[in-house]
Structure 1
Amino acid sequence: MSRWKAAGIHVSISALIGLIAATLIFGVWYPRPYSHAAGADKLVVLLLGVDVVLGPLLTLIVFRAGKWGMRFDLTVIAIAQACAFLYGTSVVVRARPAFVVGNVDRFNLVVANDIDDEDYAKAVKPEFRGPPWTGPRLIGALPPTDVHERNKLVLAGPGGKDIDVLPQYYVDYADVAAALLHKAKPLDALTKQHAEAAPIIESWLRDHHRTTADVVWLPLQAPRVSLTMLLDGTSGQPLDALQIDPW
């Protein structure tokens, strides 16, 4: 077997594993429209670069048919590649979007490692005591009614934790939908502020058979970029998040 054939086989195996990983990442953990906002594109490029490029390249360099110790060399390459891939996957898993939290007058995209383990443990509902594995979950967050707790949040300042990363304040989205709808703004306000957003919004409305009269919006803050969350003007249910800077 030539080194090119050996490297080709290695590329094929690595590409298959990479395809499975990409399907899981973009199909479950980082679904559209949150993939770019959470930085998945850079993470996946790094992960697949190690998986598809590094291992086969090393095989191409070291492989020589009949070479003494060839099996050992290939085993070392496979172990190194597997370790790098598993490490990269662990980074992707820890940084995956966990919750889309509606609170006060906006939405926040919270990734799994934004929340400390001790804060997860304080969640009132069991389903909020850990990040979901089936993709980001739409929920709400309500400020504390206790004056002492409210003051603690205020006094924590810009460097402190806000309610979007404190599961003890998480509630079902239905509990905050009406309040968010009250804070939502008409689409005309967005297009006046950002003229370049008009064709994007018009295209979305046309594709989804909606009008400016029945769709409103709120900001969606994410780790990498901010998006514009569109809401149904009657129910307050999120419809989509567009690549438009709401600020």
Structure 2
Amino acid sequence: MFSRIRLKTALKAAAAHLILSIAIAVFCAALVFGFWYPSPFDQLARGREIFLLVMVIDAVCGPLLTFIVFDRKKPRSELWRDLAIIGLIQISALGYGISSLMNARPVWIAFEGDRFRVVSVPDINLNQLHLAPESLQHLSLTGPKLLGVRLATNSDAEFKESIFLALDGVPPAFRPARWIQYEMQVQEIIKTARPLRNLLQKYPMQKSTLDKIAIQNNLHLDRLGYMPLLAEGTLEWTVIIGLEDGKPKAYLALDAWD
């Protein structure tokens, strides 16, 4: 049973713990969204949902446990032991959550024939990473990088296998043996990109948004194209491509498929 005095001191301790938890959450947010999941990949790779779940659990459970156990009448050693156990539990849970976010981070924005695909660490068989060119064997810790993908053709010995793997949920962008430097496919990307007027016909209300993207990149709308952008669980994103350098200029939550 909480006395008025104990309730007051327990609330103060829990409030202090909550402030500390919020400060740690802000630091973690800067790490997660500043490096591993820069916008819009916090949405595309579902980093936002995972982070919020981890932080809510961490910021609620720690202060709540502190509120329950905090009692000035306890021997100092017992009180510190209880608080240390709570801190250890909270740090362990936070470490596990942040580690999970790091291990699920997006590492590539891969051009795959007529689309782009977001590739995250769990999509890749890390045992096959040595099959990629040496320069592509490092998985980014500072947001996804651009990647080219060599598609199998009819003349390739593994053509049928490649089709079966794709049908089984392992598209070429997930296979290190198919990775190549993005710069090697720039001309193909420029040629494949769909004219932006097609997107404007489908989404006329997006004219101002596209105008803003063009101005920010010092390009005319005619010098921008687009392709569908695939990520786990969604087909409704679009990547806007510069037709001069073949690089993504913006990502929009629009369905680019005809």
| TM-score between both structures, scaled by the size of structure 2 | 0.88
Distance in 1 between the 2:66 and 2:187 partners?
A: 59
Q: CA deviation at 1:130?
A: 4.4
Report the counterpart of residue 15 of structure 1 in structure 2. Answer: 22
Distance in 2 between the 1:169 and 1:155 partners?
A: 15
Secondary structure in 2 matching 1:104: coil
Alignment pair present for 1:233 and 2:240 = no
Alignment pair present for 1:132 and 2:108 = no
Indicate which of 64, 68, 92 corresponds to 1:61: 68
Secondary structure in 2 matching 1:99: strand
- Structure number with the bigger relative contact order (C-alpha 8 A, sep ≥ 6) is 1
What amino acid is the match of 1:136? P
Alignment pair present for 1:90 and 2:90 = no
Against the structure 1 CA distance between its residues 132 and 163, is the aligned structure 2 distance closer, same or farther, given a 3 Å change threshold?
A: same
Alignment pair present for 1:176 and 2:189 = no
Alignment check: 8 A CA contact 1:106 1:180 kept: no
Distance in 2 between the 1:187 and 1:116 partners?
A: 36
Alignment check: 8 A CA contact 1:3 1:64 kept: yes
Secondary structure in 1 matching 2:31: helix
Q: CA deviation at 1:86?
A: 1.3
What amino acid is the match of 1:132? S
Report the counterpart of residue 4 of structure 2 in structure 1. Answer: none
Secondary structure in 1 matching 2:66: helix
Alignment pair present for 1:74 and 2:87 = no
Q: Deviations over 1:178-213 (max 9, x none)?
A: 111111111111122234433432343344443221
Distance in 1 between the 2:195 and 2:130 partners?
A: 38
Secondary structure in 2 matching 1:65: coil
Q: Deviations over 1:220-243 (max 9, x none)?
A: 111243421111112212212122
Report the counterpart of residue 121 of structure 2 in structure 1. Answer: 112
What residue ranges of structure 2 are gaps of 5+ in the alignment? 1-7
Q: CA deviation at 1:166?
A: 0.6
Superposition CA RMSD, Å: 1.9
Report the counterpart of residue 205 of structure 1 in structure 2. Answer: 214
Secondary structure in 1 matching 2:131: coil
What residue ranges of structure 1 are gaps of 5+ in the alignment? none
Distance in 1 between the 2:122 and 2:200 partners?
A: 35
Against the structure 1 CA distance between its residues 179 and 208, is the aligned structure 2 distance closer, same or farther, given a 3 Å change threshold?
A: closer
Q: CA deviation at 1:157?
A: 5.0
Distance in 1 between the 2:55 and 2:174 partners?
A: 30
Alignment pair present for 1:245 and 2:245 = no
Alignment pair present for 1:5 and 2:12 = yes
What amino acid is the match of 2:239? M
Report the counterpart of residue 160 of structure 2 in structure 1. Answer: 151
Against the structure 1 CA distance between its residues 11 and 43, is the aligned structure 2 distance closer, same or farther, given a 3 Å change threshold?
A: same
Q: Deviations over 1:132-160 (max 9, x none)?
A: 21221111111246621222102335114
Alignment pair present for 1:162 and 2:140 = no
Q: Which has the larger radius of gyration?
A: 2
Q: CA deviation at 1:14?
A: 1.5
Identity of aligned pairs, percent?
Answer: 28
Secondary structure in 1 matching 2:158: helix
Alignment check: 8 A CA contact 2:166 2:172 kept: no
Distance in 2 between the 1:161 and 1:137 partners?
A: 20
Distance in 2 between the 1:37 and 1:30 partners?
A: 9
Distance in 2 between the 1:87 and 1:163 partners?
A: 31
Secondary structure in 1 matching 2:167: coil
Alignment check: 8 A CA contact 1:98 1:110 kept: yes
Indicate which of 196, 199, 203 corresponds to 1:187: 196
Alignment pair present for 1:141 and 2:159 = no
Report the counterpart of residue 42 of structure 1 in structure 2. Answer: 49
What amino acid is the match of 1:15? I
